[in-house]
Structure 1
Amino acid sequence: MRKYLPIVIILGVLAILFFWFISIKNGAVRVNQDVSKEWGNVETTYQRRNDLIGNLVKTVQGSADFEKSTLEAVIKARSEATSVKIDPTNITPEQLAQFNQAQGNLNSSLSRLLVTVEQYPDLKSNQNFLKLQDELASTENQILTARTRFNESVQKYNNYILVFPNSLFLGNYKEKPYFDAVAGAEKPVDVNFNFDNKEDKK
C-alpha cells in the first residue's frame, strides 16, 4: 500500500487544486452577474426618467405658445440617450462615457426646459405637470443610488479578478470601468420652483 501513497497524495493535491480553481471561476461568475444586475437597475431608473420626460413633453406641448426650440432639444436629447445601449458583460470605458454623455446632454436640455416653464403661469399651476416634477425629482435620487450601487459592484468585481492568485486563472475576465459623472451631473435636475412669485406682468 505504501507504494501507492505518493500517487494518492498527488491525486489528492490535484483534486484540491481542481476544486479551488472551480471555486475561483464560480466566484468570478457571481461577481460578474452582480455587475450585470446593478447595471440593469441603472438602466431601469434611466428608463423611468425617460418615460417621465416623455410625459412631461406631452404636457408642455399642450401649451401652444411654448418655445418650440426648447422642446425639440429635449426630444432630440431623449432620443439620443435612449439609443445608447450597453452590454454590461463587455462594457468598455468608451461605451460608458458615451452613455454618460448622452444622459448628461438630456439632463442639460431638461434643465433648460424646466427653467423656461417659469415664463408660463398656466404650466406652473398644471397639476399633472407638478406631479411629473415631483416624480422626476424622486427618480433623480433613484438614479444616483443605482449608479452608486453599480460602482460598488464593479469595485468588488475588479478586486476579485485582479487580486493574486485569482488573476492567474481569470485572464479572460477584463477590468470594468466605473460610472463617472459628467461635469455638473453630480447634482439632480432642479425641479423646484418658487410658486410664491406673482405672475409675470402683462
Structure 2
Amino acid sequence: MTWIILGIIAVIVLWFILTYNGFVNLRNRVENAWAQIDVQLKRRYDLIPNLVNTVKGYAAHEREIFEKLGELRAKAMGAESVKEVGDTNNQITQALRTLFAVAENYPELKANENFLKLQEELTNTENKIAFARQFYNDVVMQYNAAQQRIPASIVAKMMGLTPKEYYPVDEGERGPINVQF
C-alpha cells in the first residue's frame, strides 16, 4: 500500500514538474516573440526620421504630417503595454500611408533614389512586423490556452500566471476592402 501511495505521489510530482516547465517554456517563447516585434519596431523607428528628412526636402510645407510622425514615434518608443505599443504603431502606419500619399504629388521625389530605397526598406520592415506580430499572437494563444486547460490551470494559478495580451490589429484593417477596377 505504501508503494502505491509513493507511486501516486511520484506521478503527481512528475506531472507538476513537467507542467511547470511547460509554462516556463511557453512564457519564454512569448517573451522571445515580443522581443522579435521590438527589434522590427526599432528598425521602423530608425527609418522614419530618414524618410521624413528625405520627403521634407521636396514637400517642406507638409509640416503637419512630419510633426505627427515625430510625436507618434516618440510615443511608441515610450509605450509600455502591448496594447499601447500596438495602438501607437497602428497610428504610425496610418501616418506613413498619408506621407506616401503626399509623396505621390511630387514626381521628383518618387524618382529620388534615397526615397525609393527608404520606401522599400520600410515596406520590408512592415512585412517583418506583420510576421512577428502573427507569430507573437500565435504563441500568446498557446500560452493562454495552456493556462486554461484542466488540470494545468491549477499549476498556472499556483505560479500566479495571467493571460498575455494579443498584439492589436488596426481597426481599419478589419473592415471590408474596397476594390475598384
Q: Which amino acid letter does the alignment assign opposite residue 52 of structure 1?
A: L
Matching residue of 2:109: 123
Matching of residue 168 in structure 1 with residue 154 in structure 2: yes
Greater Cα radius of gyration, structure 1 or 2: 1
Structure 2 spans left out of the alignment, 5+ residues: 176-181
Mapped partners of 1:75, 1:155: distance in 2: 33
Q: Which amino acid letter does the alignment assign opposite residue 174 of structure 1?
A: T
Which of residues 152, 155, 166 in structure 2 aligns to 1:178?
166
Mapped partners of 1:149, 1:23: distance in 2: 24
Shift of 1:114: 1.4
Mapped partners of 1:141, 1:133: distance in 2: 12
Q: Is the 8 A contact 1:45 1:142 kept in 2?
A: yes
Matching of residue 84 in structure 1 with residue 79 in structure 2: yes
Q: Which amino acid letter does the alignment assign opposite residue 56 of structure 2?
A: Q
**TM-score normalized with structure 1 length:** 0.79
Shift of 1:7: 2.2
Q: Is the 8 A contact 1:60 1:66 kept in 2?
A: no
Q: Which amino acid letter does the alignment assign opposite residue 97 of structure 1?
A: K
Once the two structures are superposed, what CA deviation does each residue of 1:83-133 show, in whole Å capped at 9, x if it has no partner? Answer: 113xxxxxxxxx332222111111121111111122323322210110111
Runs of 4+ in 1 over 4 A off after TM superposition: none
Q: Is the 8 A contact 1:123 1:129 kept in 2?
A: yes
Matching residue of 2:51: 56
- Which has the larger share of helix? 2
Label 1:64 to 1:181 Cα distance change in 2 as closer, same or farther (>3 A).
closer
Q: Which amino acid letter does the alignment assign opposite residue 171 of structure 2?
A: A
**TM-score normalized with structure 2 length:** 0.87
Matching of residue 65 in structure 1 with residue 70 in structure 2: no
Structure 1 spans left out of the alignment, 5+ residues: 1-5, 86-94, 188-202
Matching residue of 1:158: 144
Shift of 1:63: 3.6
Label 1:66 to 1:117 Cα distance change in 2 as closer, same or farther (>3 A).
farther
Q: Is the 8 A contact 2:83 2:165 kept in 1?
A: no
Matching of residue 133 in structure 1 with residue 119 in structure 2: yes
Q: Is the 8 A contact 2:33 2:139 kept in 1?
A: yes
Mapped partners of 1:182, 1:68: distance in 2: 25
Mapped partners of 1:64, 1:26: distance in 2: 56
Q: Is the 8 A contact 2:104 2:110 kept in 1?
A: yes
Q: Which amino acid letter does the alignment assign opposite residue 125 of structure 1?
A: A
SS of 2:104's partner is: helix
Q: Which amino acid letter does the alignment assign opposite residue 140 of structure 1?
A: E
Matching residue of 2:98: 112
Structure 1 range deviating more: 176-185 or 19-28: 176-185
Mapped partners of 2:167, 2:87: distance in 1: 11
CA RMSD of aligned residues (A): 1.8
